[in-house]
Chain A
Amino acid sequence: MQQTLSRRSFAALSTLGLGLPGLLGGCRGTTKAGSTTMIPGEQAPLADHLGWFSVDKPTIARVMTELTARGADAADLYFQYSRDNSITMEDGIISRASSSVDQGVGLRVVVGDQTGYAFTEDLSLEAMLAAARTAAGIAHSGAAHAPVEFKQRSRPSYYTLSQPWAEVQTVQKLPRIEQLAALARKGDPSIHKVTVSWADGEELVLIADMHGNVHTDIRPMTRLWCMLTAKKGDVTQSNSANLAGRHGFEWYTDERLEFLAKEAVARTMVLFDAKRPPAGEMPVVLAAGASGILLHEAIGHGMEADFNRKNTSIYASMIGKKVAPDFVTIVDDATQPGERGALNVDDEGNAVEKTVLVDHGVMASYLHDSISAKHYKVKATGSGRRESFRHSPMPRMRSTYMENGPHTREEIIASVKKGIIAETFTNGQVQIGAGDFTFYIKNGWLIEDGKITAPIKDINIIGNGPEALRNVTMVANDCKLDFGGWTCGKDGQSVPVSQGLPTTLVSKMTVGGENV
């Protein structure tokens, strides 16, 4: 998992994000109900969604017939239109912006656990039929399935904006960007460079399956970065902080901008005093919030059912087993409002939920897409996700966090004789089968004799998933989700996720460090 927003770049072109006022508005002209506004949070009529893609029900039926011509257990079309904008302020001026528009349809045929997949950016009937024939190549026998009727399925709404991003003018955003830069610059006289990067976008999806179910969603996303470089004498330090979520323009209040600037300044300035801790095994306290990266790497990936169906996860034979103390309950939840990991419907059209992975210390459920749910004969958990129409879905995390435990942060810190507390992170990784996982601490502190003492920086932590779960010895009652944005990478696909944790003590992990 990386915190950098990595999108698969098409065609080796540089694809930053950007913002085009009125672009979605322009496309709206293609719908019949020209006055309808597609607002994230509300479910627009199916006709409007079809209009976005200039397709109609007979066209979808025709393509579905071709897609299932050689038989199919399941088949779907995933139409997507996305628009991303970004603006950057650097060296005191708002010096660049970028925008990208991406549109296409992914066509999938599933036979047992075999998948045929193709996509096209050209939404003409001819191009879609050609892609359908390619994807259908996986199947060998059976009758075509053409839905006789299409029904738009209702869904909940976990992201509500007062105004779609497409209607927010660039000039509205500029003062907020300048305000954040000014706040950061004021934060400390040593601040030498301030870069502010703004990103917003919307994604429209329409998923049609071979039974005639149609699911639609409009997914907003925004992020604001504050990157700082500070100089003291001949020492230079840099660091950053960001706010991210499925929110609208109104989310960027004065208070949030002040918080972000303060956070970025504090994270940067503390580096001048930060050292490496001693190397080796020691107790690690994970501060509430971003430390959810521990769950993401140590258990989350290993609970994605595709790895277990393939028998390659260290958790493949652990359902029903006791893996952690009673006070440990870990969930993966699509229903946290406004989170990057929030979804109204998953990318296969399955209903979303809050899935309990570990229930009071006992391994409870994997994260399922349709293929693994069928394999395990359980209900899908709404975890089928994909980076875009160019990719076939697979089980992925959404918002992963641990429920509150019986201890307090103060008790936990006081219990540590010699260890560290980890606060901010840049990235993590896991080996699914061996269970070894890592995460990289950007900011943290030493704990000596039950007290937080000196700041530390730039160390990798490595542990083993099941062992780390067993070694969770204390969990506090202060769970929160990280305010910054996280992007999870798996098999070359990046999806937005969220993570959180109450203050947690793992009694022993291997800490990178230096013994001098």
Chain B
Amino acid sequence: MSDLLQSAKTAIDLAKKSGAQDAWAAVSRDRSVSLTYRDGKVEKVEESTSRGLGISLYVDGRYSSHSTTDLRPDRLAGFIKEAVALTRVLQPDPFRVIPDPALFKDRPTANLERVDPSVAKLTREQREAWAAEMDAKAHSDKRVISAESNLFSGESQGAAASSNGFDGTWDGSYVGYSCTATVREGEDKRPEGSGHAVGRFLAGLPEPAAVAALALQRAIDRLGSAKGPTVRTTMVVDPEAAVSLISRALGPMSAASIQQGRSYLAGKQGQKVFGDKLTVTDDPLVPRGLSSRHFDGEGISAKRMPLVEAGVVRNYYVDTYYGRKLGMAPTTGSASNRVVGLGDKSLAALIGDVQDGIYVTSWLGGNSDATTGDFSLGLRGHQIKGGKIGAPIGEMNVTGNLAALFAKLALVGNDPYPYSSLRAPTLVFEDVQFSGT
């Protein structure tokens, strides 16, 4: 048994000794390294190992959850004892039970390729060399006034156990780099562009210099950015920007938000809410996926789950607690990888088809109301004129309702964004309200 699993089981024993009927504990340990390089030299090096324990307690029909990083045995015993005592003064909650052990069965065993052993072996020298390459590339244009490159990586191990028979362990690695280049424009303006790549494996990531080149290009693309007109037109959303837009649209799919009346998707299961072109599947079993897992935070065995099929809402994220409140069977309480159904055209081809509109490259601020689906977002991007990417635009908003917007999803690209657990392609929406001059 791993030392982490042993720690989790020890915590459960302590909870039971203190009077808890049931308990769930998770313990983890992470190592992380980050190197920041700016304008020709190392700016900051951070390196640490972290650990912590979290425990959920079921005491006389009452519930609480706790976490600590102080794992000295005497402190931990005192902490759990006090946590159990605290739980007793709360009110009994008939819906709160430890997850049903039947949900732990049929745990998948497929190799999810979560750990790249070469990540832990990266040397300081290698990181510095890559950062220097990024820095040199980002400074390869004389308009650049500053560039910052970051290399980050880490490894983690964890274990969870419950008083009703669950135990499981996990591990993972990640490695990535990012670069931001700032260029001068006129007297005061200093537009910037960023590039970013991350994965569980080093293999498959682009060359660091390619990420810096992308950052530089994006900064240069911003030069001459102006406010576009207030207009209703077609919106093409870049895959990187589409990640957060889809995430926003699907955010209220949790049983908690539905049960609390804070979801515009409440009561829509089986109904067509979005356009035909939208299909999204929660897939925890993608090899090397950033959010791949064999079980979720409640121990529920992982399986693929359709969320939206051709615009029809199929499943919600249902955990044990809110599932009981809603009278729905648990599916899984949280998102893993979300895989979006693809079209057959590239961004360039889609822009060619669109002819005229606005191409959104990134969002700036904004928000949405989960209860109604109303949203309003700041944006940066380009005009689309005659099927080509035109002048840069900024300081504009796009405003509408998420259900109405996605009902007008006309096309999706064949180009999923690879550096997120939500793999979104280019999205094309018709008749979208922009605010500008």
State whether the Cβ of B64 lies closer than 8 Å to any Cβ in chain A: yes
Query: Please, which residue of chain B has its CB at the minimum distance from the CB of A12?
Result: B28
Chain B residue contacts of A195, Cβ below 8 A = 260
Chain A residue contacts of B28, Cβ below 8 A = 11-13
State whether the Cβ of A385 lies closer than 8 Å to any Cβ in chain B: no
Q: Are B182 and A312 in contact (CB under 8 A)?
A: yes
State whether the Cβ of B420 lies closer than 8 Å to any Cβ in chain A: no
Among the stretches B15-23, B80-88, B411-419, the one at the interface with A is: B80-88
Chain A residue contacts of B66, Cβ below 8 A = 18, 98-100
Q: Are A10 and B366 in contact (CB under 8 A)?
A: no
Q: Secondary structure at chain B's binding surface: helix, strand, loop or mixed? A: strand
Query: Please, which residue of chain B has its CB at the minimum distance from the CB of A315?
Result: B188
Complex: how many Å from CA A511 to CA B400? 13
Chain B residue contacts of A18, Cβ below 8 A = 64-66, 83, 86
Q: Are B49 and A120 in contact (CB under 8 A)?
A: yes
Q: A318-B188, A460-B399 are in contact. Are A115 and B67 (CB under 8 A)?
A: no
Among the stretches A230-238, A283-291, A403-411, A477-485, the one at the interface with B is: A230-238
CB distance from B102 to the nearest CB of A (A): 23
State whether the Cβ of B163 lies closer than 8 Å to any Cβ in chain A: no
CB distance from B393 to the nearest CB of A (A): 11
Kindly name the residue among B48, B189, B297, B437 whose own CB sees the greatest number of chain A CB atoms within 10 A: B48
Task: Choose from B52, B91, B124, B260 the contact partner of A93 (Cβ within 8 Å).
Answer: B91
Q: Are A510 and B67 in contact (CB under 8 A)?
A: no
Complex: how many Å from CA A166 to CA B167? 34
Q: Are B260 and A433 in contact (CB under 8 A)?
A: no
Among the stretches B201-209, B301-309, B371-379, the one at the interface with A is: B371-379
Q: Are A13 and B26 in contact (CB under 8 A)?
A: yes
Q: Are B82 and A429 in contact (CB under 8 A)?
A: no
Q: Are B87 and A462 in contact (CB under 8 A)?
A: no
Complex: how many Å from CA A428 to CA B366? 7
Q: Are A121 and B79 in contact (CB under 8 A)?
A: no
Q: Are B78 and A26 in contact (CB under 8 A)?
A: yes
Complex: how many Å from CA A237 to CA B78? 44
Q: A95-B63, A137-B124, A280-B436 are in contact. Are A510 and B395 (CB under 8 A)?
A: yes
Chain A residue contacts of B371, Cβ below 8 A = 229, 236-238
Q: How many A-B residue pairs have CB under 8 A?
A: 307
State whether the Cβ of A316 lies closer than 8 Å to any Cβ in chain B: yes
Task: Choose from A16, A103, A116, A464 the contact partner of B65 (Cβ within 8 Å).
Answer: A16
State whether the Cβ of B148 lies closer than 8 Å to any Cβ in chain A: yes
Q: Are A11 and B64 in contact (CB under 8 A)?
A: no
State whether the Cβ of B317 lies closer than 8 Å to any Cβ in chain A: no
Chain B residue contacts of A100, Cβ below 8 A = 66-68
Query: Please, which residue of chain A has its CB at the minimum distance from the CB of B227?
Result: A510
Task: Choose from A93, A116, A121, A276 the contact partner of B69 (Cβ within 8 Å).
Answer: A121
Q: Are B397 and A96 in contact (CB under 8 A)?
A: no
Query: Please, which residue of chain A has its CB at the minimum distance from the CB of B65?
Result: A98
Query: Please, which residue of chain A has its CB at the minimum distance from the CB of B66?
Result: A99
Complex: how many Å from CA A464 to CA B434? 17
Q: Are A436 and B378 in contact (CB under 8 A)?
A: yes
Complex: how many Å from CA A274 to CA B66? 40
Chain B residue contacts of A281, Cβ below 8 A = 230, 436-437
State whether the Cβ of A445 lies closer than 8 Å to any Cβ in chain B: no
CB distance from B362 to the nearest CB of A (A): 9
Complex: how many Å from CA A93 to CA B94? 10
Q: Are B394 and A434 in contact (CB under 8 A)?
A: yes
Kindly name the residue among A22, A104, A229, A436 whose own CB sees the greatest number of chain B CB atoms within 10 A: A436
State whether the Cβ of B44 lies closer than 8 Å to any Cβ in chain A: yes
Complex: how many Å from CA A363 to CA B241? 35
Complex: how many Å from CA A275 to CA B399? 12
Complex: how many Å from CA A113 to CA B36? 12
Q: Are A314 and B227 in contact (CB under 8 A)?
A: no
Q: Are B189 and A459 in contact (CB under 8 A)?
A: no
Q: Are B86 and A311 in contact (CB under 8 A)?
A: no
Q: A170-B89, A314-B190 are in contact. Are A460 and B83 (CB under 8 A)?
A: no
Kindly name the residue among B124, B222, B396, B397 whose own CB sees the greatest number of chain A CB atoms within 10 A: B397
Task: Choose from A13, A23, A131 the contact partner of B67 (Cβ within 8 Å).
Answer: A13
Query: Please, which residue of chain B has its CB at the minimum distance from the CB of A313?
Result: B190
Q: Are B47 and A118 in contact (CB under 8 A)?
A: yes
Chain B, 227-260, contact with A by CB distance < 8 Å: what is the 0/1 string?
1001010000000000000000000000000001
Q: A427-B365, A434-B394 are in contact. Are A312 and B124 (CB under 8 A)?
A: no
CB distance from B158 to the nearest CB of A (A): 7
Chain A, 151-191, contact with B by CB distance < 8 Å: what is the 0/1 string?
00000000000000000001100100000000000000000
State whether the Cβ of A500 lies closer than 8 Å to any Cβ in chain B: no
Chain B residue contacts of A51, Cβ below 8 A = none
State whether the Cβ of B126 lies closer than 8 Å to any Cβ in chain A: no
State whether the Cβ of B325 lies closer than 8 Å to any Cβ in chain A: yes
CB distance from B290 to the nearest CB of A (A): 13
Q: Are A237 and B397 in contact (CB under 8 A)?
A: no
Q: Are B51 and A11 in contact (CB under 8 A)?
A: yes
Q: Are B192 and A433 in contact (CB under 8 A)?
A: yes
State whether the Cβ of A192 lies closer than 8 Å to any Cβ in chain B: yes
Q: Are B191 and A433 in contact (CB under 8 A)?
A: yes
Chain A residue contacts of B146, Cβ below 8 A = 310-312
CB distance from B139 to the nearest CB of A (A): 13
State whether the Cβ of A97 lies closer than 8 Å to any Cβ in chain B: yes
Q: A11-B29, A20-B82, A458-B369 are in contact. Are A97 and B70 (CB under 8 A)?
A: no
Q: A101-B70, A433-B192, A434-B189 are in contact. Are A11 and B48 (CB under 8 A)?
A: no
Q: Are B187 and A317 in contact (CB under 8 A)?
A: yes
Q: Are A276 and B399 in contact (CB under 8 A)?
A: yes
Q: Which of A386-439 contact B (CB under 8 A)?
A: 390, 392, 426-429, 431-439
Chain A residue contacts of B375, Cβ below 8 A = 458
Q: Are A515 and B433 in contact (CB under 8 A)?
A: yes
Q: Which of A20-47 contact B (CB under 8 A)?
A: 20-23, 26
State whether the Cβ of B345 lies closer than 8 Å to any Cβ in chain A: no
Chain B residue contacts of A253, Cβ below 8 A = none
Q: Which of B156-177 contact A (CB under 8 A)?
A: 156, 158
Query: Please, which residue of chain B has its CB at the minimum distance from the CB of A391?
Result: B46
Chain A residue contacts of B109, Cβ below 8 A = none
Q: A316-B190, A431-B364 are in contact. Are A440 and B49 (CB under 8 A)?
A: no
Q: A103-B70, A433-B189, A438-B365 are in contact. Are A96 and B435 (CB under 8 A)?
A: no
Chain B residue contacts of A137, Cβ below 8 A = 45, 124
Q: Which of B83-142 contact A (CB under 8 A)?
A: 83, 85-87, 89-93, 96, 124
State whether the Cβ of A473 lies closer than 8 Å to any Cβ in chain B: no
Complex: how many Å from CA A94 to CA B87? 11
Q: Are A98 and B29 in contact (CB under 8 A)?
A: no
Task: Choose from B49, B70, B189, B367 the contact partner of A427 (Cβ within 8 Å).
Answer: B367
Complex: how many Å from CA A393 to CA B191? 25
Q: Are A317 and B145 in contact (CB under 8 A)?
A: no
Q: Are A115 and B182 in contact (CB under 8 A)?
A: no
Query: Please, which residue of chain B has its CB at the minimum distance from the CB of A514?
Result: B433
Complex: how many Å from CA A93 to CA B38? 53
State whether the Cβ of B276 lies closer than 8 Å to any Cβ in chain A: no
Q: Are A434 and B400 in contact (CB under 8 A)?
A: no
Chain A residue contacts of B400, Cβ below 8 A = 514
CB distance from A335 to the nearest CB of B (A): 29
Q: Are A434 and B225 in contact (CB under 8 A)?
A: yes
Kindly name the residue among A26, A131, A460, A514 whose own CB sees the greatest number of chain B CB atoms within 10 A: A460
Q: Which of B6-47 contact A (CB under 8 A)?
A: 26-30, 38-39, 41-47
Given contacts A138-B42, A229-B262, 11 further A-B contacts (CB under 8 A): A121-B51, A192-B261, A237-B371, A238-B369, A276-B399, A311-B145, A433-B190, A437-B365, A459-B399, A462-B364, A514-B433
10 pairs, CB–CB < 8 Å, chain A vs chain B: A120-B48, A121-B70, A192-B261, A279-B397, A312-B190, A316-B188, A317-B187, A427-B367, A434-B225, A466-B188
6 A-B pairs with least C-beta separation: A438-B365, A433-B190, A13-B54, A512-B397, A512-B376, A429-B365
Interface residues of B (CB under 8 A from A): 26-30, 38-39, 41-54, 63-71, 78-79, 82-83, 85-87, 89-93, 96, 124, 145-146, 148, 156, 158, 182, 187-192, 222, 225, 227, 230, 232, 260-262, 266, 297, 325, 364-372, 374-378, 380, 394-400, 433-437
